[in-house]
Structure 1
């Protein structure tokens, strides 16, 4: 537990700074271009390279590449160095080609991800932005491979801190646009405006990749281009990766449906489309990104080694401690999101081209997403159990079932809800789907390793929720009192609510959980106390 806490703390610190600067980035984005037509066009274009990377690389990194690099380090005579060089060489060439093809196919991609008319100005703006943003595919992908190799060497700092530089670059770009650009009016934007937004976004990814490559060199990795692909184990990678790509394809189909439904809702009610969905989702991902990703990154290589050596008891122990550690903080945060959603989003998004009412709506979507936080985190941890075994097929079927449930509920809620509530309905469908998906994944993973200690984890979660209830009550009281006395959730009122409900609320949770002797919280409190004592 202490080793995981130390590794996770290093990564969480970097991820926290990254997410905080990400907050500032989205604040400046909303300030500069808003969440109506131009904001929707930018967010649609911005989402496409990440979707392509998911299809080609990011899912494969965690489920296939990391375990294969670990095995190469353990069994190859050179410690896996030649294998790592082949992997990076192949990724570089492939992603440069993919980036070029994607730029050419930008109109088709925007048409796939949105419900906008191909001849409309909004569509054309999105296409132009996509052509400026899509070249980042090559740089982001190469950086991701470099980060994965660093993780297998237990070098977690750079992959967690590099996104900070990306955010800083893009923040400067949006601030520049706010000064010299044409604002949020879609009819007034020029080619220069779109180039500034798109090329600036790509420049952030270039800086991020450069940091990771430098860190890899400092870790002792000397890059030599290698294209002797007979020794690249592509057959083994393809056999394992085809199922991972299948999983990502399934989830991306769900994302395409989401963007189409939300883009249609945004046309009917401006400010209630892709942008509020995207911005709320980014905030929803923050706790998981800070806590869950840090734990998973440290957990997967160790679980892979334990599986390779046949020590399934250590796999169960690693998974159980990871779930409890993640949920010890996810549980109170999920309740706070459900209570404080608008109070969180108004100070972040209620400025410039974005009104307070637009920011409140983003907060309403975030409140619904709060329901999904714990199930989503557990679901992601469970997938790593299968990946540590080299099993990439089972997650495809789990993902297909989860996506199918999500799609059914998205369409159903889209049909029955007024357009102003459609995006909130999409978030609710997401929560339902991942709740059911986590149940299925737990059952299947438990069969694989001889049980996951469901009763013990369930009891721990129950104690965590009981410890978090006073925090939720305090946050709700803060909302009622502040809005009742001062009226509404303007910037100052929201800050007061966050200070009382969020700040004091988390301190209250840590105190109650410590008194209830929840081990994971005691470990966190003890680690913080020792560091403060220094």
Structure 2
């Protein structure tokens, strides 16, 4: 079969793989929302909730670096090259060396953090330390339990990166479901047995790490790629991964670093700010995780192989396809989150200890995060355009610029001296969104400048169709949605079916207008070369 005949199949394979990853990620995110509903009902937005969110966010943030962030972006291109040009034995040798080096590093880091948990809490939540109360002590105690999750989930991410490189996308995509099941179970069934019920959630995090790692090992065994850790820092593959990974920590994880900075600064703001930002971020991450990360996960191995095989036209076409697909989802998702912020939050979280005032505060930070959703998703697609070519320096430069901008905007929007612009926790979210657009813009212009990405024909027609469809969808949502204050008086069932009706009506209007404007399934496939 010729290369030209293979290309449409490859395109269909990318779309199918993206849909598979999206489906399992959607299941995980839905369970994640159920988990957050349970947390809101049990914890509200009090000191215990703030303490757990900090204790969970610290290892979760580092997971983005070691598991699916810088490590994956550095590891997958090298592994893809070994697979493309080397033998199975060479691949196994690389995996054994990487497993040993990654595992030993994480064990040492885990021991240090567990031993110095109070210092870590002071570093990441200085507001807790300054007040010197229950939040500080509770967060320190829970970090000792939750931080080993980093070791377990990073090894899980390592296993998932191997499976993704061999086009086994379903298993890594399903694995996060197990985290949500463990946390829901801990909140509902274990918490009554603890003097402080929130401690059950910390142990649920630990259990989730063990379950997720064990789940993936049999699938590696089937591929005859189950690693046997053998640390070898002089292995050429390991040295290349380290060289790529060091700068990639900044390049791929700028958004996460910005979100963590939000948590640090939010700990200095009024009680509840950490929790308001957490729930806002979780909702904004739903479309990001379901579609943005799913497409990025699928295209990275393909881009890496296309670069290794010296196929620049296919490389550019894959980027073009991914950008269109993500924009098709990101723009309406952001618009819907902005228009329906209060109804969504009320439907999901306004039960038990989570009050109506909490809904109002969280709705504004949700809108601020939603403004940056398109940029967050574009970063996920644009960054692999560099990492697949083993270029980590350029994203680092752009990432540092964006991070400095985020810090400056945090000061401008939140710093008490500028009281006329003091937006509180909303300013933190808005600064993060603005810096994401800066980062995405720099990444895109760099790919264009270097000639790596060349837009395919049809972008003007695509943009006009999207504009029309989004305007109609917005009109439908505004017309059908009741005054959001009425939602407070409704029970959970009335809220739920009304929200489902709104979502389905908005989705239907969007799809119908796109179809009426001429968008067809063939437009979602790569151009044939």
Asked whether the two chains share a fold, i.e. TM above 0.5, the reply is yes
Over the aligned positions, Cα root-mean-square deviation in angstroms equals: 2.5
Partner of 2:4: none
Larger displacement relative to structure 2 (375-384 or 241-250)? 241-250
| TM-score after normalising by structure 1 | 0.89
Partner of 1:309: 309
Is residue 14–residue 298 contact of structure 2 (8 Å, CA) maintained in 1?
Answer: yes
Following superposition, the deviation at residue 357 of structure 1 comes to 2.8
Partner of 1:201: 205
Equivalent in 131, 140, 150 of residue 153 of structure 2: 140
Equivalent in 82, 85, 97 of residue 72 of structure 1: 82
1:243 and 2:247 correspond: yes
1:433 and 2:427 correspond: no
Q: Aligned ranges for residues 27-426 of structure 1 at < 5 Å?
A: 27-78=37-88, 80-114=91-125, 115-117=127-129, 119-176=132-189, 179-181=192-194, 189=196, 193=197, 195-247=199-251, 254-265=258-269, 268=270, 270-271=271-272, 273-415=273-415, 416=418, 421-426=423-428
Segments of structure 1 that go 5 or more residues without pairing to the other structure are: 183-188, 525-534
- Seen in structure 2, the aligned counterparts of structure 1 residues 450 and 158 have a Cα distance that, compared at 3 Å, is closer
- Seen in structure 2, the aligned counterparts of structure 1 residues 454 and 128 have a Cα distance that, compared at 3 Å, is farther
- Seen in structure 2, the aligned counterparts of structure 1 residues 171 and 38 have a Cα distance that, compared at 3 Å, is same
Following superposition, the deviation at residue 180 of structure 1 comes to 4.5
What do the CA deviations read for 1:372-421 (whole angstroms, capped 9, x no partner)? 11122112211111111100010111111111222111211113468994
CA distance in 1 between partners of 2:430 and 2:64 (Å): 23
- Seen in structure 2, the aligned counterparts of structure 1 residues 91 and 514 have a Cα distance that, compared at 3 Å, is same
| TM-score after normalising by structure 2 | 0.90
Following superposition, the deviation at residue 198 of structure 1 comes to 1.3
CA distance in 2 between partners of 1:420 and 1:348 (Å): 28
Larger relative CO (CA 8 A, sep 6+): 1 or 2?
Answer: 2
CA distance in 2 between partners of 1:391 and 1:523 (Å): 28
Partner of 2:506: 505
Is residue 191–residue 199 contact of structure 2 (8 Å, CA) maintained in 1?
Answer: no
Larger displacement relative to structure 2 (80-89 or 459-468)? 459-468
Is residue 343–residue 497 contact of structure 1 (8 Å, CA) maintained in 2?
Answer: no
CA distance in 2 between partners of 1:148 and 1:425 (Å): 35
- Seen in structure 2, the aligned counterparts of structure 1 residues 484 and 160 have a Cα distance that, compared at 3 Å, is closer
Larger displacement relative to structure 2 (441-450 or 412-421)? 412-421
What do the CA deviations read for 1:17-56 (whole angstroms, capped 9, x no partner)? 1111111111111111122211111101111112333444
Is residue 346–residue 359 contact of structure 1 (8 Å, CA) maintained in 2?
Answer: yes
CA distance in 2 between partners of 1:259 and 1:485 (Å): 32
CA distance in 1 between partners of 2:412 and 2:256 (Å): 19
